[in-house]
Structure formats: structure tokens, C-alpha cells
Amino acid sequence: MMDGLKLGVAGVGTVGSGLLRLLAARKEELAARAGRPIEVVAVSARSRQKNRDADISPFRFVQDPIALATDPAINVFVELIGGEGGAAKRAVEAALASGKHVVTANKALLAHHGPSLAALAEKNRVALNFEAAVAGGIPVVKVIRESLQGNAISRVYGILNGTCNYILTLMEKEGRSFAEILKEAQAQGYAEADPTFDIGGFDTAHKLALLTSLAFGTRTSFESVYVEGIESITPADIEAAGDLGYRIKLLGVALRTESGIEQRVHPTMVPKHTAIAEVDGVSNCVAVDGDFVGDVMLIGLGAGSGPTASAVTSDLIDIARGHILPPFGTNAKALKPYKRAQMRAHEGGYYIRLSVYDRTGAFAAIAGRMADQGISIESIVQRRPGAELPGFNRREESPAFVVLITHQTTEAAIRKALAAIERDGHVDQKPQMIRIEKL
């Protein structure tokens, strides 16, 4: 058997502890599968004494992750620190420059610096593997980078954040408010004390930027992702979606179009009969549309100690076997510049919720504003008095809760129409807009 693969693990939190437990529990099996032992020789963390779910006492402790990254006793640096810059970036750069393979779960780092890090890895003929950075235990990076290479991919999309999916699932099943369920998710550890990164859609956007690069052979462009979170979703929207035959999910969507690449993250109404609509709780889902393979969908746990450690271990086994590929499937120099797509019609139309004052001419004015932008209305439903719904203010002219479903149109047209409707003063609060996606 070949000499062992010597690991230096930086970051021994949830994922790092899970990795140490997995490597210990599967030591013999992994050595047989990889053709060589996989051994942790040193770790780095902020504190050596912190209580953890894994024992780090058998390993040499290195305070500075950059020193660990260049340690001559290791040949693989496992970066589980997190963050788009700082110590994580410096340590990964140091490891690659010194000829160490790198395995990371850091989607923010790669979304912002992926192409330059890939170029550094290729220059030094080492691996930069990141299966764990997208959708936890779902092996989507390997699927796109290896299994689907014979396809021209037209679209990749999915549920990429378990916290948001958990909140939306409970809002639907239990009829409770976003704020109430978020507080519960924080207490149970599904959401951070500051949940903005998750519920604001930024975590999904980082992962989508990586999927876009893998699928379309472009340089990562996180700044080009349109990002909208789930903070504005109300029980009224959840109920209306159900009545109309939809469920609301936070989706990341990347499309190849004639004018360029479109990347967007936003709440979306998906038909109840689709597989993605059935993905509940903290699970993730990634779907890829290829010209020869058709539609491929992967579903599983997208975060957590076990699933993410599983993905890291898969990357380590590839390195142990000598299976080294360009990080994004194409040589870094060959990655095309990202070209943002032009604004175009959204094929699925839009759901619009309005709280409209019950006064003469209000509905006619709203219809006129829609017509001014060339927006065709598929249906309009007045559901019940807005004063009965959570979050609606009761005034002398009690507002009515109105739902509009449009035919396909551009987002620019919708936003102009809604801005005009707000200026006219016929609505009680800011209109709600959710895209309806045809999947």
C-alpha cells in the first residue's frame, strides 16, 4: 500500500468535528477504497481547550492556520474555517503555493476568488476540491464536473439553503409567521444568531455562483447574482400559493440564454406536482438540464456535520487515488468571462399580492397601470378583507386582499407597474411579488 495521505485540518467546528469522527470510524474501509491510509496529523483552531464533538488530543495542534498550510508534514490542507477572505484565503493560497492539495467547504471564498485559486492550483499541479461547498452531502460538483461532461447544460437550479426551506415548510404546514418560526429555528440550531446570510439569500447566491461556473464554463461572478430573500413572505402568501396549486421555495436559478447567463435567487412559486415542491425541511435539491441526459435531480441533506464531512471525505479519496482535475472542470485560463443576460420575459409569469383600499376607481387604476406596461392579467382574485390578515393595518377604508396572476412579462415591467400603483396611493402597504417558475 502507498504511503498515507497526511492531512492538516484547519477549523474544528461542526464540519471539522464530523470529519474527524468519520475518518476515525471508517479508517480501514477508507484506506482500502483509497489505496492508502488517510491520516490526520495536525489541526488548527481558535482554541485547543474548547469542548467539541471530536477529540483533537491525538493530533499536533498548530495555532496559526497559515503555518499549518505550509507544514512539511502534511500533503493535504483541509480548510474548514469559512469566510470569503482573511485567514481562510491566506491559508489556502499558502497551501497551494507550497504544493499542497486543498479540500475546502468554503463557498464564499470560492464564489469570490475561485478562478484565481484554481489557476494557482493548476500552476502547482495540485487539487482544489470543493464538493462540500455546495449542497452539503449532495455530490453535485462531481456530477457536473465529471458525469455530465458530454452535455451542453442549459439550466441549473435548486433549493440550496436548508434554513430557508425549513422555515417555509413550517409556515405552510403550521400556518405560523416567518418571525415566529425563525426564532424557533435559531433555538434549534437550524439558523444562526444573525440569520441574514441565510434568509437574505446570500448563502444560496454563493453556491449558485459556483454551480454557474461549473455548468457553463464561465468565471464565477457572485456580484452578478440577483438576490432576494424570504423575509417578506407571509402566511397569506403561503395560503394563496396553496390555493393556486403552488408551494413557495427559495430557489437559486442559473440559465444559459442567447444573450448571456442569468443568475437569480428569490422566492418562487413551484407547481405542487413537481418533485422540487416535495423537498421539505432542511433538505436541499439541485436539478441540472442537459441536452443529452435530460433533467437530472439530486436530493439530500444540504448541511450539517455528517453530510458535509461525507463530501469532504469524497474529495480526499479522489486525491489519495491521484484523481486530480481542474477545479471547475475546465482549465482556469479557459474559463470564459461572465456575460450577464439581457432582461427578458419571465416564462412563468408573476404572483402579485396587493392590499387595496375599497374605494371607487382603485381597481381600475391598478389595471390601468398594468396595461401601461403591457402586462396581461391571467386572473384576479379578491380573497377576504385585508384587515383580517396578519400584518395588515385597519383604516377607515378597510383594504381588501387582492391576488393578481400575470402572463409572462419582464421583471422591469412588473416593477414599474407596482411602483406606479404605490405612488397612486390605492394600496395599504408595499405590494408583494413572487415569480412563478415553470419547471
**Beta strands 345-346 and 294-301, pairing class:** unpaired
From the list 107, 207, 249, 272, the catalytic residue is 207
Whether 207 is catalytic? yes
Q: Taking the domain 345-436, which CATH number applies?
A: 3.30.70.260
**379 membership: H or E segment, kind and range:** strand 377-385
pLDDT digit string (tens) for the chain, length 439 residues: 578 999 999 999 989 999 999 999 999 999 999 999 999 999 999 888 787 888 898 999 999 999 999 999 999 999 999 999 999 999 999 999 999 999 999 999 999 999 999 999 999 999 999 999 999 899 999 999 999 999 999 999 999 999 999 999 999 999 999 999 999 888 877 777 789 999 999 999 999 999 999 999 999 999 999 999 999 999 999 999 998 899 999 999 999 998 999 999 999 999 999 999 999 999 999 999 999 999 999 999 988 899 999 999 999 999 999 999 999 999 999 999 999 988 777 777 999 999 998 888 888 899 999 999 999 998 888 765 544 444 444 444 567 888 999 999 988 899 999 999 999 998 988 999 999 988 7
Residues 6+ away with beta carbon under 8 Å from 390: 177, 234, 235, 236
285 to 198, 230, 251, 416: CA distances (angstroms): 16, 17, 10, 33
pTM of the predicted model as reported, rounded to 2 decimal places: 0.92
Every domain of the chain with CATH number 3.40.50.720 lies at 5-133
Fold of 5-133: Rossmann fold (3.40.50)
310's grid cell: 461525507
176's grid cell: 405560523
Give the class (CATH, top level) of 140-301.
alpha beta
64's grid cell: 496559526
d(CA 311, CA 308): 5
d(CA 392, CA 386): 6
- Phi-psi group of 403: left, alpha or beta (phi > 0 → left; psi -120 to 50 → alpha; rest → beta): beta
Query: Is 102 in contact with 5 (CB distance < 8 Å)?
Result: no
Every domain of the chain with CATH number 3.30.70.260 lies at 345-436
